Amino acid sequence: MEKKESKKGPDIKNPSFERKKLKGSRNSNNYRDKPLPWWVELLFVQIGLPDKWLIKILNSKKNITELLTKEKRFIFTFLFVLAGLSYFLPVIKYARSKLECETISKNYILKNKNLNKINRKELGMLSTNFCNGGNEIYEIENLND
């Protein structure tokens, strides 16, 4: 019994395999031919920073993109709250400085003008006027003299 020989000899290769091999190598060459990002070219090729840093940077970039896709709602909420606080912070500082000015001016009025029978509301009015640049305090001085 003789073995039948295949149509292809042992030296002849499968042409479809050759095409796939060439196709795969073309893709890998295309992948290698892509230009590096400008920051990689500058930092790691021109300046010569260690390759370990590039690996860490690329891993952290991957982790950050995953975090952004998973935690989008939390991040937007956090940024919204942060923007709200940064918007109201100057208003809060202004109000605090006005209140401090009023307490200082109340103490000044009571100490220097010797007004013992002044109403609490009038004292608040005079201190607010004084903090806003008014000169009603000086008129009180003229009335007492």
pTM across the whole model = 0.45
Do residues 54 and 94 both lie within one domain?
A: no
- Report the pLDDT value the prediction gives residue 37, as an integer from 0 to 100: 85
Range of 36-40, 50-54, 94-98, 137-141 with top mean pLDDT: 94-98
d(CA 81, CA 77): 6
pLDDT at residue 26 in the model: 52
pLDDT attached to residue 116: 66
The answer as to whether 105 is a domain residue is: yes
pLDDT in the model for residue 79:
94
> Percent of the chain beyond pLDDT 90?
29
Which pLDDT does position 145 carry in this prediction?
45
Contact status, residue 29 vs residue 21, Cβ threshold 8 Å: no
Domain span holding position 101: 90-145
How far apart are the C-alpha atoms of 37 and 128, rounded to whole Å?
A: 61
Residue 93: band (very low, low, confident or very high) from pLDDT cuts 50, 70, 90: very high
Q: Are residues 52 and 102 in the same domain?
A: no
In a domain, 34, yes or no: yes
Domain count, the chain: 2
Helices (H), the chain: 15-33, 38-40, 51-70, 72-112, 120-131, 136-144
Percentage with pLDDT > 70 across the chain: 69
53 or 10, which is more confident?
A: 53
Among 70, 102, 135, the domain boundary falls at: 70
